[in-house]
Amino acid sequence: MTVAPDPFARAEASAATLKKLTGVAHFDTAVVLGSGWLAAADAIGTPEREVPLADLSGFEQPTTAGHTPAVRYIRAGNRQILLFLGRVHMYEGHSPHTVVHGVRTAIAAGCQTIVLTNAAGGINAGYAVGQPVLISDHLNLTGRSPLSGPLPPGYPSRFTDLTEVYSRRLRELARRHDPTLAEGVYAALPGPHYETPAEIRMLRTAGADMVGMSTALEAIAARHLGAEVLGVSLVTNPAAGLTDQPLDHREVLAAAHASAARIGELLSALLPQV
């Protein structure tokens, strides 16, 4: 796949088109929804406008079930919110720059807060299927970074500090709305195959509580550009080796759909304050 030599310029172009199509000069917060999270978008609020990604330059179309190729504009209090109804992944054949294009576009459009959500396998034995978990940190095991390659002048150093990738302030704010929220470490692997039981044992030893195939690269790209990040995983299945049932993406989507509205209600209460 050919990627434009300057992915930051691509994001600026996408942001300009998005502003034109929505009639909004500046956005505040963007939410990227994970697999099967469409019910969460509906719970967050009524869209002012929904724009197909095909109408924006630089976006590839998601091919994974549960990801809708569109972005919604929603008002939450005095906040202008972007909801990306899906994302693309490296396992679809994309580069890290393509994977993080939505996040960079949102920041170019003014967003200083990025909420990243995903469907994840639960490694922590204390997690139940359907449980939302705040991401406190991640293990980027994709072997890739969105900060590799040429960096145009005028942008922050590629050597981004990731000491606090996921905002403590935003996690505390989320827990004020739902004190039952747990938090844990998310391990990002490239996929698309699920992990083996041996890999899950390795991840548990490394300190991972959840595992999935997204989010980490987007979080790195957001922190590089100075945005504050909140991460939320929805545990949709026990990880490999922790159940006798085989892993199936259809069951992941079903579990996400069943619980996404609850998380949408949380985000609906949270977004006007971030």
> Catalytic residue positions?
35, 67, 89, 91-92, 119, 213-214, 237, 249
Residue that the structure tokens 């979080």 belong to: 219
- Please tell me whether residue 233 adopts helix, strand or coil conformation: strand
What region does 242 belong to: left with phi over 0, alpha with psi -120 to 50, or beta? alpha
Residue 227's CB is within 10 A of a number of other CB atoms, namely 20
Count the neighbouring beta carbons within 10 Å of the beta carbon of residue 207. Answer: 12
Question: Contact at 8 Å (CB) between 26 and 108?
Answer: no
Annotate 125-135 with b (16+ C-beta within 10 A) or e (fewer).
eebebebbbbb
Asked if residue 192 has a cis previous peptide bond (ω within 30° of 0), the answer is: yes
